[in-house]
Amino acid sequence: MSLRTQELLLNVGPQHPSTHGVARFRVWLDGEVVTNLELVVGYLHRGIEKLAETRTYTQVIPLTDRLDYLCSMSNNLAYCTAVEKLAGVKVPERAEYIRVIMAELQRIASHLMSVGFLLNELGAYYTPIIYCFRDREKIVDLFEMVSGQRMMYTYLRIGGVSQDLPEEFIPALKRLIVDLRKAIEEYEALLSGNEILIARMKGVGVLSPELAINSSASGPVLRASGIKWDIRRAEPYSIYDRFKFEIPTANNGDCYDRYWVRIEEMKQSLNIIEQALKDLPAGEICAKVPALIRPPRGEAYGHIEAPRGDLGFYIVSDGSIAPYRVHIKPPTLINLTTMKDLCVGWKLADFIVIFGSIDVVLGEMDR
């Protein structure tokens, strides 16, 4: 007599400790091994694209904060870049430098969360994530200093930023850079060489360069597969062509490489901030734009290198005070399309780690 066996269909999410919100997967398991996987999206859909059509151009900025709530500054920057392209607004020098500083600080904050949550999913009982929170907190303090908010900053405006840097900001930022360098060294010492961490992540969930390109993956996920593509270099927006920085890439495309690329990117972001701080000019912080912007009829696509990848805003104007159509290209949704190829054949525990290493934020995926 033989035992009857069958595949187990497991619903991971929308309520699950490591779905980063409300992602849902239907996972078919043979014992512990994943044989098939299906992503179900839409649990956090708030209709942000549609809501944007009923607001003026400036009023859309708070909506973009709520897309990827771990990197609101980057979302603001992507949206403003697109609108400025559409309306032909020239941003003052000082505002550009402030924007770069904010975007790079936001990248560090976001990568800190990413590394922390990845380690949590590896089962390191909350210690790494609280260390990461400790350092992110200092960045959030700076954001609070400039914008008055700790999460939904709404700091950027079309044509510049909403208010100038306060006096105490620059000394605080200089102290922060020293602290963060030390903290990143600490993470590398504590995490990167850990035997269990390597055993769990090296070679797990390999994304081949071909598949990465064909699925139009972007951000650290793409660069971990060995492809040197960073919009800050490939299509420089804002003033990124003035800074010297490396684009870290890795060769294997596994979870460890995705983790490693994020750690290296944080160091590069610190370099960019230091350079921007050195050259920060005085002057206007916002271009002269009318309170009700009426861009000419037409369309524009602006995209930036957000912490999670290529974040794009496609805006169509009919000449009125509100956009006719706003479309958001979210990097997390596109990076997640390869989940099945990455996970099939690995264990249930690996599936969670692969998902964490892609680093998603559901607010952006479901919009």
Partner 1 sequence: MTLLNQFIQWLDNYWPHWASYLTAAIIGVLIVVIFVVLGIIVVIYLERRLLGRFQVRLGPNRVGPEGIFQPFADAVKVLTKEDIIPAAADHWVHWLAPVVSFIPVIMVFAVVPVASGAIFADLNVGVLYLAAVSSLSVLGLFMAGWGSNNKYSLIAALRSVSQMVGYELPIVFSLLAVVAAAGSMSLNRIVEVQAAVPMFLLQPLGFIVYFIASLAEINRSPFDLLEADSEIVAGVHTEYSGMKFAMFYLGEYGHAFGASCIIATLFLGGWQGPFLPGFLWFLIKALIVFFIMIWIRATMPRVRVDQLTAIGWKLLLPLAILNLLIVAMEQIFWPGVFPWVLVGINALAGLALVLLIGRTVTIRGGRVEV
Give the footprint of partner 1 on this chain (CB under 8 A): 8, 10, 16-18, 29-35, 119-127, 130-131, 134, 190, 194, 196-197, 199-200, 202-203, 344-350, 352
Percent helix / strand / coil, the chain, rounded to 5: 50, 15, 40
**Residue whose CB is less far from partner 1, 44 or 344:** 344
**Residue whose CB is less far from partner 1, 126 or 324:** 126
Return the number of other C-beta atoms located less than 10 Å from residue 36's C-beta.
14
Among candidate residues 225, 230, 252, the one with its CA nearest the CA of residue 240: 230
- For 63, the token pair is 């909506």
CB of 27 to partner 1, least distance (A): 10
CB of 113 to partner 1, least distance (A): 15
Judge contact between 359 and 334, C-beta under 8 A. no
Query: d(Cα 330, Cα 361) in Å, to the nearest integer?
Result: 10
Query: d(Cα 56, Cα 145) in Å, to the nearest integer?
Result: 27
**Residue whose CB is less far from partner 1, 17 or 88:** 17
Query: Phi then psi for 9, rounded to 5 degrees?
Result: -95, 115
Query: d(Cα 161, Cα 286) in Å, to the nearest integer?
Result: 6
Q: How far apart are the first and last CA of the chain?
A: 53
**Residue whose CB is less far from partner 1, 38 or 235:** 38
**Residue whose CB is less far from partner 1, 50 or 182:** 182
CB of 163 to partner 1, least distance (A): 32
CB of 9 to partner 1, least distance (A): 8
CB of 24 to partner 1, least distance (A): 14
Judge contact between 65 and 72, C-beta under 8 A. yes
CB of 337 to partner 1, least distance (A): 20
Among candidate residues 223, 136, 226, 230, the one with its CA nearest the CA of residue 187: 136
Amino acid making up residue 114? S
Residues 6+ apart with CB under 8 A from 43: 13, 14, 21, 22, 23, 24, 362, 366
CB of 203 to partner 1, least distance (A): 7
**Residue whose CB is less far from partner 1, 43 or 314:** 43
CB of 288 to partner 1, least distance (A): 47
Map tokens 């294997």 to a residue: 252
Map tokens 């003052």 to a residue: 92
**Residue whose CB is less far from partner 1, 52 or 342:** 342
**Residue whose CB is less far from partner 1, 18 or 56:** 18
Query: d(Cα 202, Cα 277) in Å, to the nearest integer?
Result: 37
